[in-house]
Chains A and B, each alone.
Chain A
């Protein structure tokens, strides 16, 4: 127990503890910078406007991003070189959805060569209109605000509607998590330097003992997810009455905490101790089937316990071919019934396996193309 009379120089424990109690309900997170806005705002806007019929077909839909009020002085070149670069960068990305994004600081000018600052919305409107974008459909995406404002006929019209908006972690939007897991497989689990160097060639082991495989993946994945998104906390091995949750993605949003459960399991052909020389034993099909079903049950069970928005499970299939496809079919069927997102990842062992997968993918894409024709 920490004494409340203890102090850190001029700071007392009591004051420090009291300050934690003043943290807003939306929590604190990594600060939102223009750098991040450039990469993230698109998905955030998409998420915020998922129920809004966006005029995507229009060639220029302008999204204004206002940062929080900061000490900033409007200078002769307030549409500065740096922000101009950002505008260009984001325009490139936004070309995918035929949008444009203009990054503006609320009290720092509206992207125009002017000494004036634009504290009022009407001033921003005039400035944007002067740029020839006044009649483009517009979304006002205000950082640290709880609403987005949609101007369907452009900012010049003044007609607008407000929609609730909450900044959520990237990993919680759409299929980002699934894509991230796929990328993790491609760049780590199935990468030549990944498996061969880390999984097999480790000190004291000729290979990873089967009991440790899931843990190794879990630790690696945990770090990979952190690198993808620093906006959420990735917690691991959370004990609960039903067992231990492998990974819990936790993100504070204006609407409250948002949680996603992610369970992992590995399917293997052989189980063996630390040294391969000590012998290996075949893993029966029934054991793999039990694992495949168990991961779905765990995810389902932990979802309710942690009041998670989503339960996800990932099966790493490391079995040597030929494999029994029924294991996957049964677990997928159970996942479907329990509304668990189950993804199966095939871990390739040899270069030959990898080549075969590539060829299969290529053939599949060719057949898709010919089918379309």
Chain B
């Protein structure tokens, strides 16, 4: 279950996502891209042992939508930390559509906060990795791909309803699928022997046990570090969405 966070934490989260998009080469993101990124960040961060900021999302016809994130995003624009361009009113959906980018001030603030706090620095690193993974496979960020997501694509939830991916139910299918992909991907290494030694341990205790040493000897706080190997689950999941999209397209064409 996700603990309630004060809104300033959510705003920091937003800055991290927008900063990551800048660093990945896509300075400006549309409203829809932004909400999808926020959704995947929250759904997949638990796959590397980090907490999500929220675990509920509205299922809209145009993809995942977080009303509270939109509210805070607009306030960040007012604060001069984010800027918006090409704002349009979409009458069919009764919402505004714009293109957002983090300002220099916002970026400096995000970096300042991240560098001063160990736990946030880990989250910042994971979000950067996640956003880079999805932006390098843009097809995974389309609305069609979102409808193939393990959580979002469930038929049991209708449009306009809220999807709970861990807030109360504790079920996060996307997280589980990402973990499943990662563990199966590891076994596919073309090594001449069974890669028994590939350690997926993420806590100091696990690492110490695997290494046969006392936990005090583990030099870094491994449980607070996003293992880059596990970070690959983000890439694998983005690749999965693209794969499913291609499957769907071929079925449609074939039909």
Residues of A within 8 A of B (CB): 8-11, 13, 15-20, 22-23, 28-35, 67-73, 75, 80-83, 85, 103, 105, 108, 144, 188, 198, 202-205, 212, 215-216, 218-220, 223-224, 226-227, 230, 233, 235-240, 244-245, 248, 250, 257, 305-307
B25 and A8 within 8 A (CB): no
B213 and A70 within 8 A (CB): no
Tell me how far the C-beta of B111 lies from the nearest C-beta in chain A, rounded to whole angstroms: 11
A8 and B219 within 8 A (CB): no
27 residue pairs of the A-B complex, CB under 8 angstroms, read: A9-B154, A10-B148, A10-B150, A10-B154, A10-B173, A11-B153, A16-B180, A19-B181, A20-B181, A31-B129, A34-B22, A70-B25, A71-B138, A72-B27, A75-B85, A81-B103, A103-B25, A105-B25, A144-B136, A202-B217, A223-B222, A224-B219, A230-B231, A238-B191, A240-B192, A257-B190, A307-B192
Tell me how far the C-beta of B234 lies from the nearest C-beta in chain A, rounded to whole angstroms: 8
Q: Interface 1/0s, chain B 127-138, versus A by CB < 8 A?
A: 011001101101
B85 and A20 within 8 A (CB): no
Bound form: Cα–Cα A34–B25 in Å: 6
Identify which of B33, B176, B193, B232 contacts A8 (C-beta below 8 A).
Answer: B176
B177 at the interface (CB under 8 A from A): yes
Q: Interface 1/0s, chain B 1-28, versus A by CB < 8 A?
A: 0000000000000000000101111111
Tell me how far the C-beta of B115 lies from the nearest C-beta in chain A, rounded to whole angstroms: 13
Bound form: Cα–Cα A68–B228 in Å: 22
A250 and B189 within 8 A (CB): yes
Which A residue's beta carbon lies closest to that of B222?
Answer: A223
Taking CB atoms, residues of chain A closer than 8 Å to B150 are 8-11
Known: A10-B148, A15-B244, A71-B33. A238 touches B213 (CB 8 A): no
Bound form: Cα–Cα A15–B148 in Å: 11
A203 and B184 within 8 A (CB): no
Identify which of A18, A33, A237, A245 contacts B128 (C-beta below 8 A).
Answer: A33
Q: Interface 1/0s, chain B 219-243, versus A by CB < 8 A?
A: 1101000011101100110011001
Known: A215-B213, A305-B192. A70 touches B197 (CB 8 A): no
B199 and A236 within 8 A (CB): yes
Tell me how far the C-beta of A306 lies from the nearest C-beta in chain B, rounded to whole angstroms: 6
Which B residue's beta carbon lies closest to that of A221?
Answer: B219
B244 and A75 within 8 A (CB): no
Taking CB atoms, residues of chain B closer than 8 Å to A18 are 243
B151 and A9 within 8 A (CB): yes
Which B residue's beta carbon lies closest to that of A240?
Answer: B193
A204 and B214 within 8 A (CB): yes
B216 and A203 within 8 A (CB): yes
Which A residue's beta carbon lies closest to that of B175?
Answer: A8
Taking CB atoms, residues of chain A closer than 8 Å to B28 are 72-73, 75
Taking CB atoms, residues of chain A closer than 8 Å to B207 are 219
Tell me how far the C-beta of A77 lies from the nearest C-beta in chain B, rounded to whole angstroms: 10
B149 at the interface (CB under 8 A from A): yes
- Which 9 pairs across A and B sit closest by C-beta, in order of nearness? A9-B173, A31-B132, A10-B153, A67-B25, A230-B228, A19-B243, A11-B150, A19-B240, A9-B150
B231 and A306 within 8 A (CB): no
Bound form: Cα–Cα A171–B214 in Å: 29
Known: A71-B26, A219-B211. A239 touches B193 (CB 8 A): yes
